[in-house]
């Protein structure tokens, strides 16, 4: 009898492909949450964000640049410089972040442009992809950074 050795993998999701956001999108969400937790108008530096959010400083700069292009943050140089939200946290959603970092939310190309697939009129899966995309989009759009900051503040208080 041959016994197979059992190996516990604490990260089994890394062993196969999955639908994910990229690392920069995750970092962008962390940056915006950090800024949403700051008092209104208070700027944070890339170094502060990197240290507190566990993001490499070069990546913070890259992410902040993309968030700035998308109109989600404003940056200023100099001794009074730093990074601040471009608008109230209640007006910035996770969908804004995903679209800024990843582009249009699409589970399949046919959900964004049905004309590219000749099977759409008879495809039973297409309608499911469309509904799933709409539901995910709705959830992400409703999830604003003021709400996330409230949850984050409660977690901070519990830890401290």
User: Tens digit of pLDDT for each residue in 50-82?
Assistant: 999 999 999 999 999 999 999 999 999 887 789
pTM, entire model = 0.81
- In this structure, how many other beta carbons lie within 10 angstroms of the beta carbon of residue 36? 22
Q: What CATH class is the domain 21-159?
A: mainly alpha
Interatomic CA distance for residues 45 and 140, integer angstroms: 27
Ordered by start, the domain boundaries in the chain are 21-159
């Amino acid at each position: 009898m041959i016994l197979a050795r059992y190996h516990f993998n604490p990260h089994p999701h890394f062993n196969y492909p999955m639908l994910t956001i990229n690392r920069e999108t995750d970092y962008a969400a962390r940056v915006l949450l950090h800024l949403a937790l700051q008092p209104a108008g208070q700027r944070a530096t890339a170094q502060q964000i990197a240290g507190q959010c566990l993001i490499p400083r070069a990546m913070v700069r890259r992410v902040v640049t993309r968030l700035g292009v998308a109109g989600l943050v404003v940056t200023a140089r100099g001794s009074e410089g730093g990074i601040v939200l471009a608008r109230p946290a209640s007006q910035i959603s996770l969908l804004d972040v995903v679209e800024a970092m990843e582009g249009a939310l699409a589970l399949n190309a046919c959900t964004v442009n049905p004309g590219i697939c000749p099977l759409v009129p008879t495809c039973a899966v297409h309608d499911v992809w469309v509904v799933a995309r709409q539901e995910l989009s709705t959830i992400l759009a409703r999830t604003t950074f003021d709400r996330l900051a409230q949850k984050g503040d409660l977690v901070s208080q519990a830890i401290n």
